[in-house]
Structure 1
Amino acid sequence: NGVDKLRLNPGNIGGRQHVEKVVDCARMHHTPIRIGVNGGSLEADLRREYGPDSPQAMVESAMRHVRLLEAAHFSDIVISLKSSTVSTTVEAYRQMAKLVEYPLHIGITETGTPARGLIKSAAGLGALLLDGIGDTLRISLTDAPVEEVRAGVELLRALRLRRDDIEIISCPTCGRTRVDLMQAVKRVDAALPHGQGYLRVAVMGCAVNGPGEAADADIGIAFGSGSGVLFRRGERFAHGAAEDMIALLVREATAMLRQRRDEEAR
């Protein structure tokens, strides 16, 4: 059996007899079933009763099939309730989380191209995850699947639900900025030792406010005109030419990560 989990769409699976056939097969192969409600393919009677784009209709659709599976003595269940409307999806999951203890797979469906889809998914899934709702997730994009995975990992990192890599924070620039900060961030990011643990690194556009505004960073650099200042937790500890300070930042960050790994290994 090469299937880890299968999806049952309440809107098009058909009647009870079809569901029972799927349940029998899933039970035989020890395969979980995801009740995957899609706001665009709800049962006709629910669309008539609740109207289009209704979180209540999505929840009722899911609960109908929860009851069907439970009546067949099948409880290896996961539930998803996806709409292309962020607010509808969020409300549906919030209602469902109050009704069942089954795992919830969260996502916004049909979000479109990455530019729009990332924003819609972050808005909806971020709200749910901060509520403590969601056991697995998918960021649906009109793009290669690997980009969906990368986006999902970055969302978890942004919410600090996954702390496994360097987090770079940088300012939006202002009139005091005397450096091409976009290029500076790219250079620092490329030089840092990724994949060795969590560290918060700040790359700021000026030395006037940079260290203070990024005082919660483990380490950071603030640029002047051809120069840079390094700081730890807002406290300055080195100053010099920008190129030298970038190199020193990388060495210091590498040492901090090594020290953390050593402490965790004790």
Structure 2
Amino acid sequence: MSRERTRVIRIGDRVIGGGNPVLIQSMCNTKTQDVEATVDQIKALTEAGCDIIRVAVPDMEAAAALKQIKKQISIPLVADIHFDYRLAIAAIEWGADKIRINPGNIGSADRVRAVVEKAREYDVPIRVGVNSGSLEKNLIEKYGGVTAEGIVESALQKVRMIEELGYENLVISIKSSDVLMCIKAHQLIAGQSDYPLHVGITEAGTYVSGTVKSSVGLGVILYQGIGDTIRVSLTGDPVEEVKAAKLILKTLGLRRGGVEVVSCPTCGRTRIDLISLANQVEKMVSEFDHLDIKVAVMGCVVNGPGEAREADLGIAGGIGEGLLMKKGEIIRKVPEEELLNALKEELMKLQ
């Protein structure tokens, strides 16, 4: 089921599915009970481009904190629940815009029913989440191990459990740390369900390995028209998750806006500190997220002008100086130490 044909689900003031833009999610790594720290992180994530934020709700103190958090943020709030169905009920009552549960680990059918009835009362969507690490033993035995087929069957069983209770305000999430398994699982479930899909490579790793694995997995899945929300799961600052997710969507043409920086890998011809300059440019352009342009940072004047021709603005380094270019045309020569400010001045003219 392509994203254009999935159901439309409302999460707070955002909508997903039905061909709506793919939204970026992240998850706070603060203690939810610490309202101030959690709100501060959510605001930083919002500024970075996060559309929906999830927080852990491990106890009633965390559930009660949702009310104060909700008052101070501007994006939908998702409560992540495990094991205790009462936390899901409390989270809904305290203002969660969506809850994430695994119906298989919150207890009896009566407990699942109680959560569903509360979600129905408040018209709050339920994200049914299944990870490869929590796959049921009978499905592991049936398929001879943890497989994409088993993950999909587990998720659809839980969806049917909620559907039988008369509730269809659902989002599905099936995740694995195995990229190829995750891709296959999404291909399978897209042909068997029309609920919106939240996509991610779970436990992807640290910044470098996690970004690479997520880019490969999410790139393949999204390119096939599958997926309505995404998260890049990284061991580190969740702001980096949002940055990576934005770049993945922009690279695939699924999100516009923001300055795209392209830079060469350097070589023996490089005569300026290109690595430092490229990093400074990437940091600086975050101030111009409302622009939708490409900036090239090139290391030499041999290939630089040609390589930067497709960019809106560009720098090509020389010996202690560089060429500042616009639409492939050389504007002027600039001393190396003034290149960053000169580029910033040109960006400000485009506002």
Q: Above 0.5 in TM-score? A: yes
Does the 8 A contact of 1:53 with 1:88 survive in 2?
Answer: no
Aligned pairs (5 A) from 1:1-266: 1=93, 2-192=95-285, 193-256=287-350, 258=351
Cα distance in structure 2, aligned partners of 1:24 and 1:247: 58
Whether contact under 8 Å (2:257, 2:290) holds in the other structure is: yes
Q: Residue 86 of structure 1: CA displacement?
A: 0.8
Measured against aligned partners, the alpha-carbon deviations of 1:176-215 in whole angstroms (never above 9, x if no partner) come to 1111101222343455552332221101001111121232
Q: What SS is found at the alignment partner of 2:112?
A: helix
* TM-score, reference length from structure 2: 0.67
Unaligned runs of 5+ in 2: 1-92
In structure 2, C-alpha distance between the alignment counterparts of 1:44 and 1:225, rounded to whole Å: 64
**C-alpha separation in 1, matches of 2:165 and 2:254:** 36
Q: Which moved more, 1:175-184 or 1:241-250?
A: 241-250
Return the offset for 1:168.
1.1
- The whole-number CA distance in structure 1 between the counterparts of 2:301 and 2:135 is 56
Describe the shift of the 1:176–1:144 C-alpha distance in structure 2 as closer, same or farther (beyond 3 A).
Answer: closer
The higher radius of gyration belongs to: 1
Provide the aligned length of Structure 1 versus Structure 2.
257
- Per-residue Cα deviation, 1:87-125 (whole angstroms, up to 9, x for no partner): 111111111112222110111112232232222222211
**Aligned-residue offset at 1:132:** 2.1
Q: Is the 1:202–1:221 contact (alpha carbons within 8 Å) kept by the matching residues of 2?
A: yes
Distance 1:147 1:123, change over 3 A: same
Q: State the superposition RMSD in angstroms.
A: 2.2
Could you state the TM-score of these two structures normalised by the residue count of structure 1?
0.87
Measured in 1, the distance between the counterparts of 2:163 and 2:182 equals 24
- Structure 2 distance, partners of 1:10, 1:119, is 31
Distance (Å, rounded) in 2 between the aligned partners of 1:186 and 1:113 = 19
Could you say what secondary structure the match of 1:40 adopts? Answer: helix
Which residue of structure 2 aligns with residue 261 of structure 1? none
Counterpart AA for 1:205: G
Query: Identity rate of aligned residues, in percent?
Result: 47
Counterparts in 2 of 1:113 and 1:187: CA distance versus 1, 3 Å: closer
